[in-house]
Structure 1
């Protein structure tokens, strides 16, 4: 599943666009690099867009953002502080901040979420005495981490359900083999950023406890779940024994993640972090960007979620009014500020239509498309962030109409 930064998520082939200026650097005659450079240039020049992923920015812009963060009225950081060395200073401050936000005893900063998750599951396997993890087949652990839980940590997975939705309590109770850890991705990204209802989540956790299992939340995007659940971060995290969160997905950071939980678990995780090569000499840029994201983006996420529902409804109505043979906005009412769009055209056509729309109108509506199923049926992920708040439903409709007009032109050309 392509993400909103023009690539695939970490781990399963390919990377994400770094935002470097390949137009200036040249493409060396490589058509793939040329196409990527064209996309980046078109997106970057767009005056109207639903989101501006930091991975599509230029280096100078990111440096300016960090400098601005140092001069902001943030309570946790300032330019007069020293850089960190092996996790002290600003990194330790970030760990304290995350632990407090999630209501956990402690937290540890990790350079990647993949490392944080593998170590969390490894630690729980040692404590529960079983290497079996109950996890959804569409979860990040299964789809985007190259089987790290198996090949690196020696664990084994049992599927919670084969349905493209979060598991139910009954399914957890009925699993036909013991498991030590239940890993729940909130939201379940590759199923459409889906979340259970609050009572359903509580029941699933209780079912795992009945099976004598611990519960780990893959909360890379947990920050934006509060609106759907109607609960604060601390109350959500309290259901789990450990929680992983990301700093670069919803918070617009540079990189990095945190694992939060009991002090003893976090201490053990830090020891394994060193063994896994995650004891990085200096990480102050990533920590600074994460703290800035907690100050700037975290309070805004509920407004993004609310506006995502406006954008999703406008898109659904625009596709119907335009007479598209088949389309799907999934879920119809987004659970977070991200959702899927499905259209009955080749991904290459939709990619080209999106780039032409950006080049010709300086409006970016959709980014990359993929065909995970039958050829000619493509999907993309839509992220609604701060720039989207300026869009009315009519603006979305107009952009969708302009996009579809270019799709039809391309289909005639291919004709």
Structure 2
């Protein structure tokens, strides 16, 4: 029998889990975790609503709407300048490279769960010859004492705010200022991996410029938290950003046109950024309700409780395969999407998922969550 999907370019939902999950989510009437997935047509149509003059010409090699976005980010963070990057990985590598050149020290202090260690194939070492040192292995940001007692002189302290792999955890404001001061006492510069920095203001009780002012440079993402297509920005002193743009070109990041990503980023700044405090408040309700709904399940837990941002982890004592199948079946049979993907950290029979609040989640009450979890649990062995 011929494959009807072969001529359309679509994946067969019977053999492609991503397509099956996408279709199940799209058909749901209620969605607790994550933003509603958009089709290509919807994505393209949404760009027409971006807060920018669409009668202007497209950007070329970083001017036009891309330059406008850079100015907007610098203004939001209170920095002298900002540079748009196609990927956060590139922005991070360029930032660490520039600081190593400026400090004359290739050693970077970072957490072993930080993005460059876990998700970038050790690019900082392979491409630039940098080395890392870990102030702590605990699932939290390092404290001032740990930074002060490092036995090697380091040129840059990189702090991921929030630390995603540990559960989107953040220090207190006093802890953050103390660890930055400890790095300064070691004559080191401070770089914030702020892919999700946008969502930290409520926890810290500070504005974005106040938070960014603690660091010498800050990286932010446009597709994480803000729902953009792709892209990131590196913000800091004008002299550093000029150097970063030179390395951006060398790394292949001087794309001819990037207007779709820039327009989507501007849209996220306009629509999602103001709603993040509301999402955090709802995340605290959802986390407490999920903890209660699974209270009788040995090994189940929400972390951290309460959440530090609008994202948190849910740990359950089943395999990722079993939990993912139950999630998709719940969506297909009940029209309710509770959880996204599950991962296994290496502990037998234990999996976790990241629960993310966005606009669709706001309609869920504690009663709704309890009822949906009961249906979800009925699908588990």
Superposition TM-score, scaled by structure 1 size: 0.88
Q: Secondary structure at the match of 1:150?
A: helix
CA RMSD, 1 decimal: 1.6
Separation in 2, partners of 1:268, 1:26: 43
- Work out whether residues 243 and 260 of structure 1, in 8 Å CA contact, stay in contact via their aligned partners in 2: yes
- Work out whether residues 23 and 38 of structure 1, in 8 Å CA contact, stay in contact via their aligned partners in 2: no
Distance 1:296-1:348 versus aligned 2 partners, 3 A rule: same
Separation in 1, partners of 2:17, 2:83: 39
Deviation per residue, 1:170-202 (Å, 9 max, x gap): 000011111000000000000000000000000
Distance 1:132-1:289 versus aligned 2 partners, 3 A rule: same
Q: Residue in 2 aligned with 1:360? A: 333
Separation in 1, partners of 2:206, 2:299: 36
Separation in 1, partners of 2:135, 2:357: 30
- Work out whether residues 25 and 337 of structure 2, in 8 Å CA contact, stay in contact via their aligned partners in 1: yes
Distance 1:24-1:363 versus aligned 2 partners, 3 A rule: farther
Q: Secondary structure at the match of 1:183?
A: strand
Q: Residue in 2 aligned with 1:78? A: 53
- Work out whether residues 86 and 230 of structure 2, in 8 Å CA contact, stay in contact via their aligned partners in 1: yes
Separation in 2, partners of 1:121, 1:283: 24
Separation in 2, partners of 1:128, 1:36: 45
Counterpart selection for 1:146 from 94, 97, 121? 121
Q: Residue in 1 aligned with 2:20? A: 38
Q: Secondary structure at the match of 2:313?
A: strand
Separation in 2, partners of 1:312, 1:230: 21
- 1:293 paired with 2:268, answer yes
Alignment of 1:94-243 (within 5 A): 94-243=69-218
**Structure 1, 144-153 or 60-69: larger mean CA deviation:** 60-69
- Work out whether residues 23 and 37 of structure 1, in 8 Å CA contact, stay in contact via their aligned partners in 2: no
Separation in 2, partners of 1:210, 1:146: 31
Structure 2: where are the runs of 5+ without partners? Answer: none
- Work out whether residues 86 and 282 of structure 1, in 8 Å CA contact, stay in contact via their aligned partners in 2: yes
Alignment of 1:271-350 (within 5 A): 271-320=246-295, 323-350=296-323
Separation in 1, partners of 2:209, 2:371: 40
Separation in 2, partners of 1:286, 1:22: 29
- Work out whether residues 32 and 338 of structure 2, in 8 Å CA contact, stay in contact via their aligned partners in 1: yes
Count of aligned residue pairs for this structure pair: 377
Q: Residue in 1 aligned with 2:38? A: 57
Separation in 2, partners of 1:58, 1:193: 28
Q: Secondary structure at the match of 1:109?
A: strand
Separation in 1, partners of 2:107, 2:16: 45
Deviation for aligned residue 1:79: 1.3
Deviation per residue, 1:298-335 (Å, 9 max, x gap): 00011001100000000000001xx2122110001000
Distance 1:301-1:91 versus aligned 2 partners, 3 A rule: same
Deviation for aligned residue 1:51: 4.3
Structure 1: where are the runs of 5+ without partners? Answer: 1-20
Counterpart selection for 1:263 from 234, 238, 249? 238
**Structure 1, 214-223 or 381-390: larger mean CA deviation:** 381-390
Separation in 2, partners of 1:310, 1:240: 32
- Work out whether residues 34 and 340 of structure 2, in 8 Å CA contact, stay in contact via their aligned partners in 1: no
Separation in 2, partners of 1:117, 1:388: 31
Distance 1:367-1:22 versus aligned 2 partners, 3 A rule: farther
Deviation for aligned residue 1:52: 4.6
Separation in 2, partners of 1:37, 1:269: 38
Counterpart selection for 1:395 from 359, 368, 371? 368
| Over 4 Å off, 4+ runs | 21-24
Distance 1:159-1:233 versus aligned 2 partners, 3 A rule: same
Separation in 2, partners of 1:60, 1:219: 31
Deviation for aligned residue 1:78: 1.6
Superposition TM-score, scaled by structure 2 size: 0.96
Separation in 2, partners of 1:371, 1:271: 40
Separation in 2, partners of 1:142, 1:57: 31
Q: Secondary structure at the match of 2:314?
A: strand
- Work out whether residues 107 and 260 of structure 1, in 8 Å CA contact, stay in contact via their aligned partners in 2: yes
Deviation per residue, 1:51-72 (Å, 9 max, x gap): 4547x42100101111122xxx
